[in-house]
Structure 1
Amino acid sequence: MTDTAKPRRVRLVDLENPFIESLEGMTELLLVRHGEQHIWANMPMGEVVDAPLSELGREQARVVGERLATAAIDAVHCSPLSRARVTAGEIARHHGLEPVVHEGLREIEQFQKAPQHLGVIDHYGTERFVELMREQNRTGLDSIWPDAEDVAAFRRRVTGAIAEIAEANRGRRVVVACHAGVINHFLSETLSSSVDQVFPLHHTSITTARVDGDRRVVLSVNDFAHVHAVQTSRSDLNG
């Protein structure tokens, strides 16, 4: 007879224990935002979604890779967008791993329904664009962008992708190199927040969570101590 017994549920006290010796029955996720991307004020909207890493972004990716070089990493997953794939590669190479690309980890497309050949400022105008940026910062909601992809569908996509990765990697520590929107929607769902953008996540910051089925615990958020070696200021365009 086939054994269909479900995995033993992990005690909550163990899920929350940062010093636990074994990850048996759970998955530890290191959610890493990509390095800084190269963007400019009137960038064509069709190019924004897959903007490559800037020179600083490449350095940030290098130092987060070095930061995690001594950690016991079992797998690296990443978004298909180039800035996340390069960041993932910088981490994976220290462990002899090849990043696994997961389409569900793509960033939310704020300009999906807008004319892709137009620049951001050409389409919205400077005043309207600044107004939308301020409104998103004030409310923490992605739905303020009139041309964005469906936010509820995005939430389902990214939380489903992370749940799939976690279920396939029980007992393992996994890096997920992705985007601020992806990580924030996961945090919002986990913390039952009413906003989409819960924390301002720095480039290559590490957010650590543990998952056991439908139970999720956040251990730390936005750890970016490693970037101080290569960064002393931040661009207003690239938070």
Structure 2
Amino acid sequence: MARHGQSTANVAGQEAEANGLHAVDLALRDADVPLSPLGREQATALGRRLAALPPDERPTVVLSSPYLRARDTARLALDQLPDPPPIVLDERLRDREIGVLYLLTQRGVEARYPEEVERKRRLGKFYYRPPAGESWADVALRLRSVLADVEREHPGGRVLIVAHDAIVVLTRYIVEHLSEDELLDVERTLVANGSLTIWAREEGELRLVTFNDTEHLKDAGLTP
């Protein structure tokens, strides 16, 4: 599983937070946010990492979030493979929807929706659902159906999923049977753009091999 490369929204969000702004200056739907120039390079480096694998370890199935930044990451990565499989888009792999909080910085949320800050504190990060948005539990529910379909439709396949940080973290939650506290401990580590997380089947169970691996980005000088 790979997180998409750096997006223009990632860059704009970091700048807005650093400058103490209430909102990110972006006029796009979340689904239409493209990769930044660095993000495109990260996607290509991810593809080179996959191409360097032995042929019997390369992906045979590729699923992607339909959001532009994920689709383009998958496409640019697979362009590096000699015989890439087709990309299948699945809307269940989209990023978590945060409703009325979209494009707000932490300062903006505190200023405009202080009642939501308090509600999140009471409910906890996992179960908190922003108005018109999703909780982490909501995302886990749709993700469980994706993983069940993968298990049924691609037994023995080598599956690559290109999606978002929440999808990577919640896949660990589901596959590794984590508790809420264990999930939140994992979530404290930022899932890097262009990073790779791998599970392998051992004795019928999926076991984590590597989480949030960015060596291919460091080797190419592509970490921010």
Cα-to-partner distance string for 1:114-150 (whole Å, 9 max, x where unaligned): 187xx525x9727548x999xx9xx982545633324
Residue 51 of structure 2 is aligned to residue 61 of structure 1: no
Structure exhibiting the larger radius of gyration computed from Cα positions: 1
Alpha-carbon distance between aligned partners in 1 of 2:111 and 2:144, rounded to the nearest angstrom: 31
* C-alpha displacement of 1:46: 6.1
> Secondary structure of the equivalent of 2:197?
strand
Does structure 2 retain, via aligned residues, the 8 Å contact 1:80–1:101? Answer: yes
Aligned AA (2:6): E
Q: CA RMSD in A?
A: 3.3
* Structure 2, gaps ≥5 residues long: 17-23
Residue 135 of structure 2 is aligned to residue 141 of structure 1: no
> Secondary structure of the equivalent of 1:217?
strand
> Secondary structure of the equivalent of 2:198?
strand
Residue 132 of structure 2 is aligned to residue 153 of structure 1: no
Query: Which of 161, 165, 179 is the matching residue for 2:164?
Result: 179
1:193 is matched with: 179
* Structure 1, gaps ≥5 residues long: 1-30, 234-239
Higher relative contact order (Cα pairs below 8 Å, separated by 6+ residues): 1
Query: Which of 210, 213, 221 is the matching residue for 1:220?
Result: 210
Residue 108 of structure 2 is aligned to residue 125 of structure 1: yes
Cα-to-partner distance string for 1:156-204 (whole Å, 9 max, x where unaligned): 1012212312331112211111111011111123241314552421111
Query: Which of 137, 142, 151 is the matching residue for 1:166?
Result: 151
Residue 18 of structure 2 is aligned to residue 34 of structure 1: no
Alpha-carbon distance between aligned partners in 1 of 2:62 and 2:223, rounded to the nearest angstrom: 28
TM-score w.r.t. structure 1 length?
0.68
Relative to structure 1, the CA distance from residue 192 to residue 66 in structure 2 (aligned partners, 3 Å threshold; closer, same or farther) is same
Alpha-carbon distance between aligned partners in 2 of 1:166 and 1:156, rounded to the nearest angstrom: 16
Pairs aligned (count): 193
Identity of aligned residues (%): 27
Does structure 2 retain, via aligned residues, the 8 Å contact 1:45–1:115? Answer: no
Alpha-carbon distance between aligned partners in 1 of 2:6 and 2:210, rounded to the nearest angstrom: 21
* C-alpha displacement of 1:49: 4.7
